[in-house]
Amino acid sequence: MEHIFIKKASDQPVLVLLHGTGGDEHSLVQIAEHLLPEASILSLRGRVSENGMNRFFKRRAEGDFDLASLEEETDYLHGEIKTLAQEYSLEISKMILLGYSNGANIGAHLLLTRETPLKFGLFFHVMSLRELEKVQANEHQRVWLSHGTMDPLVTEENYSLLLDYFRSGGSQVTDFSLPVGHGLHSKEIESAQKWLNSLEG
């Protein structure tokens, strides 16, 4: 899996970056360095191409996801994170998944549906991808999620369902909603930074 690793302070968490549709392993680096300047960065590129745009799983149309691809790519991503953690001598339980849109979606799906040592997720403009009959017990997980109430891609009903999934598994959930669309906003960056700093306590 194409990726970059930027090593910084060894006593800090590692931010695992998962870009949105059309992004790549460089897209979220500047935001990550602003959010947690001393954290090392492991940034991954989705291996699916949609009309030349990188994604982490296939879709047939906007909002119509290829669920077989979703499950295959979730397993692949999980395996790659474990492999790269070993390669770079990183403690996977201290990694923080940081995703936007498509990357946030697969990151959240991973935490909800896979037995994993990953415990932290920060997901900008994330959505529920499919109905889940059960979620992984995740009492040790802490997640931060954002939603734009004017987002044309993610309904409030969908986002509320995702919050319910995380809470039903025992996750400690921080929800940040604001009246914007699907793009990143400075206020959610500020909220995300406060949440990241709170993890150190």
Alpha helices in 24-145 (DSSP H): 29-35, 67-87, 102-113
CA 75, distance to chain mean position in Å, is 14
- Ordered by start, the domain boundaries in the chain are 3-198
CB within 8 Å of 88: residues ≥ 6 apart: 5, 7, 42
Catalytic residues: 101, 151, 182
pTM above 0.85, yes or no: yes
- Judged against a pLDDT cut of 70, whether residue 47 lies above it is answered with yes
Question: What is the fold of 3-198?
Answer: Rossmann fold (3.40.50)
- Judged against a pLDDT cut of 70, whether residue 7 lies above it is answered with yes
Supply the pLDDT for residue 201.
55
Q: Residues 62-75: pLDDT tens digits?
A: 778 999 999 999 99
